[in-house]
Amino acid sequence: MGGIILMDTKWIQSNPSIMMGKPVIAGTRIPVELILEKFAAGETIEQLLEAYPRLTEEGIRAAFLFAAQALRADVVYPISAQAKLTDG
């Protein structure tokens, strides 16, 4: 049921020889998932740009767009806390 995700190769790239093929910001080894995790942990765009000098604001925005497209393409079923308790 999942769809094909077309990556904007200007900003997001996936190459099996870089970070095991995980989507990264083009020209870096910074995975999209790292950007999302850092932002979710409360870091600002400005802090990300300071911590990763090769990163650009456009790259960060492309990471968010890529994540949104990936979630739109696949069905995600959240696991409830109750299900976690009863499964193991």
Tell me: the pLDDT tens digits for 15-37?
889 899 899 999 999 999 999 99
Residue 2 placed within a domain: no
Structural domain containing residue 56: 12-87
pLDDT score recorded for residue 34: 97
Instruction: Pick the closest to residue 5 from 28, 23, 25 (CA basis).
Output: 23
Q: CA 26, CA 30: separation in Å to the nearest integer?
A: 8
Residue 61 placed within a domain: yes
Residue 65 placed within a domain: yes
The sign of the CA dihedral 76, 82, 86, 88 is positive
Residues 30 and 55: beta-carbon distance below 8 Å: yes
Structural domains in the chain (count): 1
Residue 4 placed within a domain: no
Give the CATH number, domain containing residue 28.
1.10.10.10
Token reading at 53: 């000098």
Residue 78 placed within a domain: yes
| Residues of the chain predicted below pLDDT 70 | 1-9, 74-88
Token reading at 9: 């190769």
- In order, the DSSP letters of 25-51 are ETTS--BHHHHHHHHHTT--HHHHHHH
To the question of pTM greater than 0.85 for the whole model, the response is no
Kindly report the backbone phi and psi dihedral angles of residue 71, in degrees, each rounded to the nearest multiple of 5, phi listed first: -70, -35
| Residue 10 DSSP class | T
